[in-house]
Amino acid sequence: MFVRVNGEEIDLPEGSTIKDAIKAVNAPYMEGCVLSIIKGKEEFEKHVNKYKIKTSKGSVIIELLENSPSDLVEVWKNMYKKFENQEVRWTTSSEVSLGPIKTNLTPTRDEYKYGKWDVIISLSGFTADSTHIILSKSKHEAVYGVPEGSNGVFAKVLGGKRTLLNLTDDDTVKEIKPVIERSSTVKSATVIDLDTPITEGNELFTYVLINPEFKSPQSVEHFFALSEEGKIKVDYESNSFVGFYRLQGLSKPSEYIDQRTRGTVTLRNTGKGAGRVYIYREDRVSTPPHTVIGHVNKGIQLLDIANNGDYITVKTDPERVMTLSMTQKEAEEYLSSRGIEQIREGLDDDDAIVVSQNPLYTTEIISTKKVKTLGVTEDEIIYIDIDDNAPRSSWYFQKITGLLDYPIGSLKVHFAFPGMKVMMFEGKTKEARGLVPENTPSQCVNAGQIGITNMSRRHVGMIGVRFEDNNEFGPTGEPFAGTNVVGHIVKGLENLEKFKEGATVYVSRKL
């Protein structure tokens, strides 16, 4: 039997399951993510009510009427492709005619009144061998040889009215295709599991493919960080968009602003909700607080059916260019495989760890086809296990270090005094607002634990670490009640004491 997986047609044995189909084409899919099956073209088009007629002058969109005679709608759905690649048959001050094609309809000789933008099935010459589509440009009366039982009207012109008015008999119908809307997908799609059987004609969707917008380099990198695990979690869904809020609060400057058409991916760049990512199910106008960061290339059907809490497998094309945490040698091989030249800086030994790259943003690297990679010894990096019991504080820590965006971040040493067995790092008071006491120590702060001064103390946001256990004060010198523990250093603590005030310490999550 023939089925389609993410648009690719394959032949599978009868009785195959979703799992078999995914394996047959090695389709991108992460376990636990939402899946979608559409029963097939015929089932899907039962729920389509808009069509785009592409002409040599532009496109005209028609919408089927809810109370249209079923026989006329059926003729249109079954035959609309036959109007493609034909010249406009005729135009008058009141109408444009497309066709002819052959049908099995029976004509009448009755005259009817027609409104502006009506779409009519006409049997010209009172013969089914000369069936036309008439698009009305004005109110008028006519005898169109319409099929028995109706005035022939089955749709209305919804968009492209200026195009319609400009058509002449020198123009051509290039293509007619359904306008895919969320409602069409939802009515014909189901959420299923891997063991669900599939049948002839089914269409399976396993992932969403997004093409990044090169005009928004910083905002695109935000999306790469959001989707670094290969999946994204739906935090909000409505009729018009799906929202992803994991990086809310991590704002980026405004970049490329454009129309938010169906499938557009945007980043809220200011105001309440800055850092949220949205993917649109329906068209919306452009607005300055939303930067366009990409467009869905495949898998919009998954976004149509996704609910709050669902995970969606996601890929981008091109993929992120990220060398941080690689060795210089690993970065060389990785970049070479993508046709990008590496320029080593800092420590250029093969085993040096890359802690920064320039340009930083993927779209700029791809455009220039070269990148500088800064290497350091592994002794200059500390590896941290982030504590889940301090969500606000760990968010703050990851934000100011850069770990929300990148695999390696940095801290600037604020206080380091030999023999004090404590080191403090610069924080950001503005970002630290709202750091309520959480995960405060009760009896002892252990060596290697990272603490942040909470809002109960004056120096809110200060970050510190102790090199030995202390039963009285936290890593920033504050009492336990003013200290939020965000994690502990799992590697590199023994190297930290050598850093002086003003030095940069690179940080990474645990190995």
Q: Please name the fold of domain 380-509.
A: Cyclophilin (2.40.100)
User: What digits encode the pLDDT tens for the residues 201-218?
Assistant: 888 999 999 999 999 999
Which pLDDT band holds residue 402 (cuts at 50, 70, 90)? Answer: very high
Count of other CB atoms within 10 angstroms of residue 59: 17
Q: What is the pLDDT of residue 141?
A: 95
The backbone torsions φ and ψ at residue 8, rounded to the nearest 5 degrees and listed phi first, read -100, 125
d(CA 63, CA 118): 10
Count of other CB atoms within 10 angstroms of residue 110: 13
Token digits of residue 27: 């389709």
Token digits of residue 183: 């409602």
Strand partners, 373: 344, 357
Token digits of residue 352: 């040096």
Which pLDDT band holds residue 23 (cuts at 50, 70, 90)? Answer: very high
Instruction: State yes or no: cis peptide before 359, omega within 30 of 0.
Output: yes
Which pLDDT band holds residue 420 (cuts at 50, 70, 90)? Answer: confident
The backbone torsions φ and ψ at residue 313, rounded to the nearest 5 degrees and listed phi first, read -70, 130
With a cut of 90, say whether residue 199 has pLDDT above it. no
Token digits of residue 233: 């979690």
Q: What is the pLDDT of residue 497?
A: 87
Nearest-CA neighbor of 80 among 126, 49, 106, 40?
49
DSSP at 83: G
With a cut of 80, say whether residue 124 has pLDDT above it. yes
Got the DSSP string for 178-203?
Answer: E---HHHHHHHEE---TT-B--TT-E
Residues 147-168 have a mean pLDDT of 94
User: What digits encode the pLDDT tens for the residues 451-473?
Assistant: 999 999 999 999 999 999 999 99
Q: Please name the fold of domain 205-316.
A: Cyclophilin (2.40.100)
Instruction: State yes or no: cis peptide before 178, omega within 30 of 0.
Output: no
Query: What is the distance of C-alpha 66 from the center of its chain?
Result: 33
According to CATH, what is the number of the domain 50-178? 2.40.100.10
d(CA 269, CA 183): 29
Q: Do the domains 205-316 and 50-178 match in fold?
A: yes
Residues 116-122 have a mean pLDDT of 97
For the ranges 1-15, 128-142, 170-184, which has the lowest average pLDDT?
A: 170-184
Which amino acid makes up residue 466?
R
Q: What is the pLDDT of residue 38?
A: 80
Give 160's Cβ-side CA count (13 Å radius). 20
Q: What is the pLDDT of residue 419?
A: 78
Q: What is the pLDDT of residue 46?
A: 65
Q: What is the pLDDT of residue 190?
A: 60
d(CA 208, CA 211): 10
Nearest-CA neighbor of 63 among 167, 179, 151?
179
With a cut of 80, say whether residue 278 has pLDDT above it. yes
d(CA 174, CA 357): 47
d(CA 132, CA 137): 16
Got the DSSP string for 429-450?
Answer: TTTTTT----S--SS-BPTTEE
Token digits of residue 365: 């690297």
Instruction: State yes or no: cis peptide before 318, omega within 30 of 0.
Output: yes
With a cut of 80, say whether residue 180 has pLDDT above it. no
Average pLDDT, the chain: 93
User: What digits encode the pLDDT tens for the residues 36-92?
Assistant: 888 765 555 667 889 999 999 999 999 999 888 989 999 999 999 999 999 999 999
Token digits of residue 208: 């969403």
Strand partners, 53: 60, 176
**Dihedral (C-alpha) 468, 486, 477, 417: value to the nearest 10 degrees?**
60
Helix (H, G, I), strand (E, B) or coil at 95: strand
Domain locations along the chain: 2-46+182-204, 50-178, 205-316, 328-376, 380-509
